[in-house]
Amino acid sequence: MGMALRDIYGESLVKYAGLNDRVVVLDADLSNSSKTCMMAAVYPERVFDVGIAEEHGVSVIEDRPLARALYAACEVEREIPAEFYGAVADLLVYIYRLNHREEMLK
C-alpha cells in the first residue's frame, strides 16, 4: 500500500516551504492528524495554531482573494501597498464588529 495522503501532504509542505520562505501553515490544533507537524518540526516559526486563537476568542477570517493579492504584492514586515488600504480597512472593521457585537446589540 502507498503512503497516506496526509503523509504526502505533510512532506509536500516541508518541500515547498524549503523552496519558498513565504509558505506558512495555519492549523486548528490538528497537526498530528493533518501532518502539519512535519512542517512544524522543520520550520516552527512558520506554523501557527489558530485553534489557540479560537480558544481565546481571537477572530480568524478567511478571505482568499485578499490573502492571495497581499501575498503577491507584499513582503513580511513591510508596509501594505496603498491599493490594499480599503480592503484591509474593511477587514479590520469586520473584525472590530465581530469582537464587539454584544456591545453593539445594546
47-72 average pLDDT score: 80
Q: What is the pLDDT of residues 65-93, one digit of tens each?
A: 898 899 899 887 889 999 999 999 998 89
Which 8-state DSSP code applies to residue 8? H
What is this structure's pTM?
0.54
Residues 6+ apart with CB under 8 A from 81: 73, 74
Phi, psi of 25 (to 5 degrees): -125, 130
Q: Which of 13-22, 28-37, 55-64 is the most confident on average?
A: 13-22
Question: For residue 89, what pLDDT is reported?
Answer: 93
